Amino acid sequence: MEHVTSADGTRIAMDRTGSGPPLVLVGGALSTRDAGIPLTEEVQSEYTVYRYDRRGRGDSGDTPPYRVEREIEDLAAVIEAADGSAFVYGNSSGAVLALRAAEAGLPIRRLGLFEPPFVGGDPDAIPKISRFLDEEDRAGAIRFFLISIGVPAEMVDASADPALEALAHTIVYDLTITGDNDGLVPVDRLARIDAPALVISSTGSAEPMREAAQATADLLPNGVYRSLAGGWHGVPDADLADLIKQFFVE
């Protein structure tokens, strides 16, 4: 494990694996850098993969108050450690963070984006989840969040995990990142992003999620859309790796 220091002094934990051009993985909600291990194993023979814990998660620090700009600075610090520019792959809310970073001008060579969740949502979700957290009901916050975003019941039932509960407060961070434009596809933001971008969806995801991925690709000036066979909000890492290897080229 290594650390980089973000602009506000927060220490961000990361792992560096493999060899080749730098590829930074940006995780989604309720995940640490370990969530990227299976994909890393598929691509590390061709890329130097940087997996990092977003602030407030895992081995990374956290400095309140939360602002999306601080997370962009965290990603900037990781990219700086990766020789100053990198390919960036973001999963779900991590895809939205990657888009926000590209819009902010970070040196991103190409973007990979898995199902950025531009599907709207409950405008009161943050205060509702904050109440769970204030009452120290982290399990309740997670369950409410998962149900609100349409996670299948069997996956919600499997979410009772102390490791997940340790991340419950970061749900508010992800909702802040994705809440711009009422959680819908941010047309104006996307128009300002020039980096070539591959937007991926799963055939097993709900139709609004697939449609949002397609719309994101269509609105990005250099966007490409691909669909992979998979389950709800997920696809096999080997298939995902094949797409990444085809798209993340110099």
pLDDT digits (tens, 9 = 90+) for 51-101: 999 999 999 999 999 999 999 999 999 999 998 999 999 999 999 999 999
| Within-domain flag for 32 | yes
- pTM value is 0.96
| Within-domain flag for 179 | no
| Within-domain flag for 231 | yes
pLDDT at residue number 250: 75
pLDDT digits (tens, 9 = 90+) for 127-180: 999 999 999 999 999 999 999 988 888 888 877 788 999 999 999 999 999 998
Q: Within a 10 A sphere around the Cβ of 215, how many other Cβ atoms? A: 19
3-state secondary structure 126-176: HHHHHHHHHCCCHHHHHHHHHHHCCCCHHHHHCCCCHHHHCCHHHHHHHHH
Is-contact 206 150, C-beta < 8 A?
A: yes
Number of domains in the chain: 1
| Within-domain flag for 60 | yes
| Within-domain flag for 161 | no
| Within-domain flag for 98 | yes
Question: What are the distances in angstroms from CA 199 to CA 12, 89, 97, 137, 171?
Answer: 27, 10, 14, 35, 23
Distance (Å, whole) CA 119 – CA 93? 12
At 228 the three-state DSSP class reads strand
What's the CATH code of the domain at 212? Answer: 3.40.50.1820
Instruction: Show the tokens assigned to 214.
Output: 């397609």
pLDDT at residue number 226: 98
| Within-domain flag for 178 | no
Question: What are the distances in angstroms from CA 13 to CA 28, 53, 181?
Answer: 16, 6, 31
| Within-domain flag for 70 | yes
From 140, 130, 131, 138, select the one nearest 172 (Cα to Cα): 130
Domain range enclosing 49: 2-119+184-247
